[in-house]
């Protein structure tokens, strides 16, 4: 069973997959509140439908751009309706405003990027942020909405797992695109971020207590990553699972004994074992269900991320994602081109890069391929160091809402790891950013300041 590429997919497969997506989303809409933030959240998670329909019907992104515009305007309207809640977000809104003003000025006025592109890029940050304020006001005003919104995200996550199974049945193998209903055939970045954020949702509603349903739920989350061919999730998912289990969950603080350690260890090792065998890149046979070879997987990961092969050597600047981040750091320290360091090269420079330049190290200032450009490097090239600092200040100020410090730091570390060393879909993808901020807002309804699990009392 070899990887399927988007150009190998037939129109009938695209139609079948998207019909099931549409039916699933309509069912969730039927089961969810028809007012407030719920309809917009569901709409945010339907981007894959609009992406595929736009590409296969119009041969362009026109319909997808209309979809993004609707999300943008809808979020602004919700924000205006809930203006009174802005008092609880004074510092985050201040940093968001500074970031938006800077982003617009440096992109449109300094780099002369076209206005539709600038607004499209800005909407990735504004829409989820405005939704968050409306979400906060809705849950504060009506406690019954808390459980309804937990249930909404549960159904949305389960639909993403179901669509991973549908993808396997429709294609007969894995493909980088089609991350549930979130992305179309050409988008697969969320295949790593969605399972990781799903673990935080599981923490909020279960305190990581183990039962059969939750084990299958966790396996389903990992399966999303496997069906998008993502390698990082095979390592990151089991690690995050065990960290949340042992260091954030309050339940396991009290019952750390052999009867729980054994099943936990079996689950984590089982996830890792399945991941290496089901991901072709991680086994010597380079096929699905290849042999279990930890050394081969380690050597591959090291070379892919850093350029260091079996013979050893030093970390190579610009090679792999770690090498790309090293180049970014050294470029700042050199101070050779201060304007480029502070303000970047513009959104058009990155968004409209020719496919022929994918492996052009000269175009990417020393990074050997586009695939080695992580989220922080992409933003550095687009709007410079100032843009990165303002975005991080916004995130740090927003995360201060979470009272339970261990949860705050683990979630923030996960998001920053995705931003610095991966593709930053937890920030760059509107539904993933909305999901992340939902977790931020709802954290205090699941854990108190001391880390005691209070979700059941909310119910």
Q: For the segment 380-432, what is each residue's pLDDT rounded down to a tens digit?
A: 999 999 999 999 999 999 999 999 999 999 999 999 999 998 889 999 999 99
Whole-number percent of the chain with pLDDT over 90: 54
Rounded Cα distance between 436 and 422, Å, is: 16
Supply the angle between the helices 375-399 and 405-421 in degrees, to the nearest 10: 160
Q: For the segment 285-326, what is each residue's pLDDT rounded down to a tens digit?
A: 777 777 777 777 776 666 666 666 555 556 677 777 888 888
**Mean pLDDT in residue range 58-83:** 88
The helix (H) or strand (E) run that includes residue 41 is: helix 38-44
The predicted structure's pLDDT at residue 292: 76
Please compute, for residue 249, the number of CA atoms within 13 A of its CA located in the half-sphere on the CB side: 23
CB of 220 within 8 A of CB of 226?
A: no
More confident residue, 339 or 88: 339
CB of 420 within 8 A of CB of 375?
A: yes
**Mean pLDDT in residue range 179-186:** 91
CB of 176 within 8 A of CB of 228?
A: yes
The predicted structure's pLDDT at residue 130: 94
Indicate whether 375 pLDDT > 90. Answer: yes
Please compute, for residue 221, the number of CA atoms within 13 A of its CA located in the half-sphere on the CB side: 27
- The neighbouring-strand residues paired with 420 are none
More confident residue, 281 or 47: 47
CB of 302 within 8 A of CB of 308?
A: yes
**Mean pLDDT in residue range 66-75:** 94
DSSP assignment of 407-427:
HHHHHHHHHHHHHHHS--HHH
The predicted structure's pLDDT at residue 140: 84
The predicted structure's pLDDT at residue 6: 74
Phi-psi region of 367 (alpha: psi -120 to 50; beta: other; left: phi over 0): beta
Indicate whether 448 pLDDT > 80. Answer: yes
More confident residue, 293 or 332: 332
Rounded Cα distance between 116 and 437, Å, is: 25
Q: For the segment 186-204, what is each residue's pLDDT rounded down to a tens digit?
A: 877 888 999 999 999 999 9
**Cβ burial, residue 336 (10 Å; 0-12/13-18/19+):** exposed
Over the chain, what is the mean pLDDT? Answer: 87
Rounded Cα distance between 2 and 163, Å, is: 19
More confident residue, 110 or 288: 110
Q: For the segment 202-248, what is each residue's pLDDT rounded down to a tens digit?
A: 999 999 888 889 989 999 999 999 888 777 888 889 889 988 988 89
Provide the pLDDT confidence category of residue 457 given band limits of 50, 70 and 90. low
Provide the pLDDT confidence category of residue 274 given band limits of 50, 70 and 90. confident
Rounded Cα distance between 227 and 275, Å, is: 11
Provide the pLDDT confidence category of residue 139 given band limits of 50, 70 and 90. confident
More confident residue, 294 or 132: 132
Sequence-separated (6 or more) residues with CB below 8 Å from residue 402:
408, 411, 440, 443, 444
Q: Which residue has the tokens 């809104």?
A: 93
Indicate whether 127 pLDDT > 90. Answer: yes
**Mean pLDDT in residue range 44-60:** 87
Joined tokens for residue 261? 């350690």
The predicted structure's pLDDT at residue 408: 96
3-class secondary-structure state, position 286: coil
Indicate whether 7 pLDDT > 70. Answer: yes
Indicate whether 143 pLDDT > 70. Answer: yes
Indicate whether 108 pLDDT > 90. Answer: yes
Indicate whether 79 pLDDT > 70. Answer: yes
Indicate whether 330 pLDDT > 60. Answer: yes
């Amino acid at each position: 069973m070899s990887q399927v590429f988007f150009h190998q997919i037939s129109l009938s497969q695209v139609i079948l997959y998207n019909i099931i997506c549409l039916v699933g989303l309509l069912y969730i809409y039927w089961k969810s509140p028809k007012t407030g933030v719920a309809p917009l959240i569901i709409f945010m998670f339907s981007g894959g439908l609009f992406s595929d329909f736009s590409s296969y019907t119009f041969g362009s992104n026109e319909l997808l751009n209309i979809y993004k515009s609707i999300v943008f305007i809808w979020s602004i309207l919700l924000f205006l309706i809930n203006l009174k809640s802005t008092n609880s977000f004074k510092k985050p809104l201040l940093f968001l405003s500074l970031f938006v003003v800077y982003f617009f000025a440096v992109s449109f006025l300094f780099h002369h990027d076209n206005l539709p592109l600038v607004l499209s890029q800005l909407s990735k940050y504004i829409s989820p942020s405005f939704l968050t304020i409306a979400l906060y006001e809705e849950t504060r005003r009506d406690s019954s909405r808390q459980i309804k919104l937990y249930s909404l995200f549960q159904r949305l996550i389960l639909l993403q797992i179901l669509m991973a199974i549908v993808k396997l049945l429709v294609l007969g193998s894995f493909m980088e695109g089609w991350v549930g209903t979130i992305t179309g055939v050409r988008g697969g970045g969320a295949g790593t971020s969605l399972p990781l954020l799903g673990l935080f949702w599981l923490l909020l509603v279960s305190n990581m207590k183990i039962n059969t349903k939750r084990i299958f739920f966790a396996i389903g989350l990992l399966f999303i990553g496997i069906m998008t061919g993502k390698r990082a999730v095979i390592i990151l998912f089991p690690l995050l699972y065990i960290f949340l289990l042992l260091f954030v969950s309050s339940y396991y603080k009290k019952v750390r004994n052999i009867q729980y350690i054994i099943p936990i260890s079996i689950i984590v090792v089982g996830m890792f074992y399945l991941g290496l065998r089901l991901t072709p890149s991680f086994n010597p046979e380079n096929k699905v269900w290849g042999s279990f070879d930890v050394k081969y997987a380690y050597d591959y990961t090291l070379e892919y991320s850093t350029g260091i092969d079996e013979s050893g050597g030093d970390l190579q600047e610009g090679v792999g994602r770690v090498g790309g981040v090293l180049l970014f750091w050294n470029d700042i320290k050199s101070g050779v081109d201060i304007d480029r360091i502070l303000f970047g090269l513009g959104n058009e420079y990155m968004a409209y890069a020719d496919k022929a330049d994918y492996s052009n190290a000269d175009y990417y200032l020393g990074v050997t391929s586009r695939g080695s450009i992580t989220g922080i490097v992409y933003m550095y090239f687009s709007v410079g160091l100032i843009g990165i600092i303002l975005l991080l200040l916004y995130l740090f100020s927003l995360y201060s809402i979470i009272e339970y410090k261990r949860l705050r730091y683990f979630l923030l570390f996960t998001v920053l790891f995705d931003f610095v060393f991966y593709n930053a879909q937890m920030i760059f993808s509107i539904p993933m950013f909305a999901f992340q901020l939902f977790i931020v807002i709802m954290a205090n309804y699941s854990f108190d300041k001391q880390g005691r699990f209070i979700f059941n009392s909310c119910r």
